[in-house]
Structure 1
Amino acid sequence: MSSSSFDRAGLALMFSTILVWAGSWIAMKLIVPYIGPFDFVALRYVVGSLVLFVLVIATRRPLAMPPWKLTLLIGLTQTAGFQGFVQTALVSGGVGKVSLMAYTMPFWVILFAWWLLGERPTARHGAGIALAAIGLVCFVEPWNGLGDIRPVLLGLGSGLCWGVGTVLSKRMFERHAPDVMTFTAWQMLFGGLVMVPVAYLVPQMTAQWGWPLWTGMTYIVLIATAAGWLLWLQVVRRVPASIAGLSSLGVPVVAMLLAWAILSEKPTPVELGGMVLILAGIWVVSRAAPAARAD
């Protein structure tokens, strides 16, 4: 593959993925008035996993489940926990705020990889975390009173769950090397099924199945979940990891801009400053050398 084809194809795919995933945050916010958060999570991931299973069969990939205990833990954290916190946060929180808190995931990965995998963080990791911590304080603005801090805490909870799931996924790939698509389908199915009894037991609004909900769910399940994941595989395949990793910066930025344009969610100057600091912290962490394993 030539350098020019890499520029045209790889980067175009990366920006397409960023746009697709950023758009899913707008879709998730728009369907809040029409479906409860737990119904949404169960439906999104059960149906999304079935779409992936069809692709697994169509592409003749192995269908066998990876080790079920670890797969279940990843489904509980990376799928059920992450999306459950996100959708609950979006009930009262703005897209920019919640998406940025969710994308604190790299910082949680550093902490949990240190604890679970023995990967000691470097000074650069510490600098990135410090930048993000200052940005979080600016973003919350405690000097003006905490106000409704619930979406921020729920957003941070989603990032924490995503971080734990990422570390557990790393352990899965190191120890068992499953097929990526098959593993993703199984952990999504587990995460979705776990949310089914929660959706029945926890009081929430009754789903209102009109065109807004059908349109939003179609985009989220088929485009953001299935097609977005396939786009991401192509990005990882074509684009250097150091560049692909920076896409974590692009999704919350584009989501915030789309929310500003579509939902009139205009951030304050201090919030913008906090966002810049958090994104700078993510960039510093993404450019840091891999953490060393403890002896």
Structure 2
Amino acid sequence: MKNRQNVLTAALTGLAPAVWGSTYLVATELLPPDRPLLATTMRALPGGLVLLAFGRKLPVGIWRWRALVLGVLNIGAFNFLLFVAAYRLPGGIAAMIMSAQPMFVVILAALFLSERIRLVHALACVMGTGGVALLVFKGTVSLDTVGVLAAIGGALCMASGIMLTKRWGRPEGVGLLTFTGWQLTAGGLVLLPFWLSLEDLPDGLTGSNVIGFAYLVTLGAVLSYIVWFRGIERLPAVAVSFLALGSPIVATLLGYLVKDQTLSVLQIVGMAVILLAVVLGQPRPPKPKPEQTPPAPPRSTASSSPDQPALEQERSG
């Protein structure tokens, strides 16, 4: 029963990276061009404020700085570094570096969550990176130091966010929606000054822009992060980290279906390898304990002797 619940939880949690895989398509097709920080800020802040208004509860005590740290790691810094890497590196290289995130989680979980490093996790990390390489790598080798550091930093931010969310848990009496709202709001507020200082405001919004922003706020932020944080609560941190590898699969498939991009045999193989890595990264069902045979009842000395009836008959005679 528990294994079935883990499978269902993993499937639901995997919907979040699947939705995030559509973000690039939505940003390029529906949002104002060349404004990644606007897209990221609008994705986080409005949804966070709505959830805060719905929950009517602000973090208190130690959770004031914990909510800020989680919001920065899971949303603000992660998305900012992700866009820096995407703009300064070829997409394939950026995705390959970001795919090291499960490896970081494996190490951090061993250090801070007492989760044992298993050989199957190391194998899944290698397979995940290799699958992403087959999926998105185009053969370019141009590297930019700032872009590489941003990609590594983004992977570390996501890994640290998963680990700390798992380690700290959720404060007692605070619902999952409110907890998600804290982090979205904190991440959006951190991004806000970067957006206002580095990008211009758009001249106006079209109907397509409104649809794109609505999609990012509802599916791309509120709903996806709710199921993501729910998954972190119920699954091992390492298992959740591998689910994030589904994002480049969805991005590639949408590019093929919507933008008429090619889909090669190597890319299909890469998808299969990534999916296998995700499966290997999930918790294994516990081995059934061998049934113990109950000990035989002790045999009565009186009834065990074959001569006992004869002796009793002799005595009576």
In the superposition, the TM-score normalised over structure 1's length comes to: 0.70
The reply to whether residue 146 of structure 1 matches residue 141 of structure 2 is yes
Structure 1 residues 96-175: aligned runs within 5 Å: 105-136=101-132, 138=134, 144-147=139-142, 157-173=153-169
| Equivalent residue letter for 2:29 | L
Determine the C-alpha separation between the residues in 2 that align with 1:10 and 1:282: 14
| 1:77 aligns to 2:73 (yes or no) | yes
- Code of the aligned partner of 2:196: Y
Residue 3 of structure 1 corresponds to none
Output the amino acid matched with 2:36.
Answer: P
Q: Distance in 2 between matches of 1:267 and 1:157?
A: 30
Equivalent residue for 1:192?
Answer: 188
- 1:263 paired with 2:259, answer yes
Separation in 2 of the partners of 1:285 and 1:178? Answer: 31
With over 3 angstroms needed to count, the CA separation of the structure-2 counterparts of 1:101 and 1:41, relative to structure 1, is same
Cα displacement (A) at 1:286: 2.0
Task: Tell me the C-alpha RMSD between the 2 structures.
Answer: 4.3
Q: Establish whether residue 207 from structure 1 lines up as the match of residue 228 from structure 2.
A: no
Q: Which runs of 5+ in 1 are unaligned?
A: 1-5, 291-295
**Once the 2 structures are TM-superposed, how far is the Cα of residue 266 of structure 1 from its aligned partner?**
2.6
CA contact (8 A) 2:246 2:274 kept: no
Corresponding residue for residue 50 of structure 1: 49
Matching residue of 2:26: 27
Residue identity over aligned pairs, in percent, reads 23
Q: Which residue type is aligned with residue 73 of structure 1?
A: V
Equivalent AA in structure 2 for residue 121 of structure 1: I
**TM-score, normalised on structure 2?**
0.66
**Count of paired positions:** 273
Secondary structure class of the residue paired with 2:261: coil
Q: Output the CA distance in 2 between the equivalents of 1:112 and 1:166.
A: 10
Residues 26 and 95 in structure 1, CA contact (< 8 A), matched pair in contact too: no
Distance 1:77 1:139 in 2: 27
- Cα distance 1:158–1:259, how it changes in 2: closer, same or farther (>3 A)? farther
1:33-68 per-residue CA deviation (whole Å, 9 max, x = no partner) reads 5352222222221111012113324xxxx5444612
Aligned residues of 1:104 and 1:282 also touching (Cα < 8 A): no
**Any stretches of 5+ residues in structure 2 without a counterpart?**
287-317
Aligned counterparts of 2:27 and 2:85: Cα–Cα separation in 1: 11
Please say which structure displays the higher CA radius of gyration: 2
Alpha-carbon distance between aligned partners in 2 of 1:152 and 1:88, rounded to the nearest angstrom: 9
- Tell me, yes or no, if the aligned pair for 1:74 and 1:168 is still in contact at 8 Å: yes
1:109–1:164: 8 Å Cα contact kept in structure 2?
yes
Deviation at 1:173, TM superposition (A): 0.6
More helix by share: 1
Deviations 1:147-171 (A, max 9, x none): 4789887556433321111111112
Report the Cα offset of residue 115 of structure 1: 3.4
